[in-house]
A and B are shown apart, each in its own frame.
Chain A
Amino acid sequence: MLLYIDAGTGGMMVQVLFSGALGFVVFFKLAAKRIADVLFRRGRTTASEDATAVADGDSADPASDISRAA
């Protein structure tokens, strides 16, 4: 059923992820990738740097943008 609210791509995917055993494998893989990403590639990031990135127009949720425009 089509909802009048936007479930959000991430919101839908989190549920799918948690709805099966396979989900946990994917979850831990993503978690490990994220931690490695944070520790080895990006280093520690400050909130102000991130806020600047947002202000510079780094995209948020393209799906949400599309739904709002629609």
Chain B
Amino acid sequence: MVVSTPLAFEPSSFRDPSSGVVLDGDRVLRYAVGEAGPALAGVLAAPWFSALIAEEKVERTTPLAREDAPGLYRALPGITAAFEHPRLPFISYPYEWSFEMLRAAALLQLELVEASFANGHMVKDATSYNVQFRGARPTFIDFGSFEPYAAGEGWRAYGQFCRLFLNPLYLQAYGGVPFQPWLRSAIDGLDTEVVRRLLPLRAKLRPSVFVDVVLQSMLTRRFAANEQALRSARERAIPDTAVRGMVSRARKTVEKLPRRKRRSAWSGYEDDRAHYSPAAVAFRERFVAEVVDRARPSMLWDLGCNTGRFSLLAAKTAQHVVAIDGDEASIDLLFERAREAAPNVHPLVMDLLNPSPNQGWAQAERQGLAERGPADVVLALALVHHIAISGNVPLPRFAAWLASVGRSAIVEFVPKADPMVQRLLLTRKDVYGGYTIEAFESALAEHWIIAERAAVPDTSRVLYHLERHG
């Protein structure tokens, strides 16, 4: 194998000085330096770790011999081991997950801590960015996080686990505040002191919240400036029983967290569907199924997917489906459905009027939505009126943006006469004179070829199959 040089370091893999990831075309290569090399080779050879890989809890990892990666060894002085992982079809971030997705990720993280600790090892960090989703299944991607446990060291990543898993979950479960916008703006996670201030008193009196939020926050304020106490705490040997107790308590806490918001205005949208006749429902499904069947896409994005009716339909043919909606309750419902019925559907919470940007260190650590595309096929059913009327985005801009995220598209135009548009107009002045089907088709013409156009029966809606110019 020849590794291309200069090496393309994975833009988010730089914080751990002992291990990192390099991308070589479609290949994902991991290097380890110094003592981490033999330690990771030992982890990989251990039966407990093989079991985690076999159960698909941790990404598959293959050792690379020096002669298999000469470029990597030549370019990285101090390298002591190299490994290869399969590439993930889509990268997502915790601020794009629903409550249940973050809970599933937290439980996986804790399961790995328990499994490694039971076998003389530890997961040295606890960031939710180390968990990814293959479709609807969480998987741990940072093999470099495993290390032999140094006796007495304790679960040092507990604070990070709180900031990046527990605090966002507490905020939503007990404060009723969706965590996504907070997590998106705080890439290191939610500060315990801030969460303490946001949670109501009733929540703070819960034993788990009291320890993880109130007590931790109090201890921070009490000891942050006390260097001697910090040194003494650092040198204090933490008994194994305390580590096991803390991890097991965290797991039980996460398992028992209540899910407060089960239904929203939109989570019942697909089930109600009073605005579609049975003929219209059948027609839309047939149109989408036929186009997707012909395209056989490797990657399909369903924009404004609601509870994923069409995502699940497309997932029968598409290899991978990313289903995006701004309504967190709808995405949570889809996550549960996908876990049972369509493991190749990756649900995502995102407001398409304000998609995830490039952010983090050098604005390259976490990618924006468009940078993770384009998808082979994009579905945008009953979306355009939300973008153009709720968001005041001119139709030409919508058509241009759509062309930046998809090579082909299935789009449904919802005209002003439609009851759903009329409902949007109830609370705003109608300044949308340019929102017409003629203007929409004219906007499409600059970026798209209309391959098919079909009126949806019993409605004034029109479906388009679009192919991008060039």
Contact = CB atoms under 8 A, between A and B. Distances in A.
B155 A9 contact: no
Interface residues of B, number: 56
A47 B124 CA distance: 34
Interface in A1-52: 1, 3-19, 27, 30-31, 34-35, 38, 44-45, 47, 50-51
A21 to B, nearest CB: 11
B91 to A, nearest CB: 21
B218 interface: yes
Contact of A9 (B160, B212, B224, B238): B224
Contacts of B210: 31, 34
Contacts of B222: 13
Contact of B220 (A3, A8, A18, A51): A8
B246 interface: yes
Nearest to B226: A9
B201 A44 contact: yes
Contacts of A27: 215
B219 A4 contact: no
Nearest to B18: A4
Contacts of A6: 159-160
Q: Which label, helix, strand, loop or mixed, suits the secondary structure of the B interface?
A: helix
A38 B202 CA distance: 11
A58 B269 CA distance: 42
B356 to A, nearest CB: 22
B187 to A, nearest CB: 11
A34 B246 contact: no
A47 B218 contact: no
B192 A18 contact: no
Nearest to A8: B159
A47 B199 contact: yes
Interface of B: 15-17, 124-125, 127, 150, 153-160, 162-163, 175, 188, 191-194, 196-201, 204-205, 210-212, 214-220, 222-225, 229-230, 233-234, 236-239, 242, 245-246
5 contacts: A5-B125, A6-B160, A13-B233, A31-B215, A51-B197
Interface of A: 1, 3-19, 27, 30-31, 34-35, 38, 44-45, 47, 50-51, 53-54, 59-64, 68
Given A4-B15, A15-B242, 18 more contacts: A3-B125, A5-B127, A6-B160, A7-B156, A7-B160, A10-B159, A10-B192, A10-B215, A10-B219, A12-B230, A12-B234, A19-B237, A30-B218, A31-B210, A34-B210, A44-B201, A50-B196, A63-B220
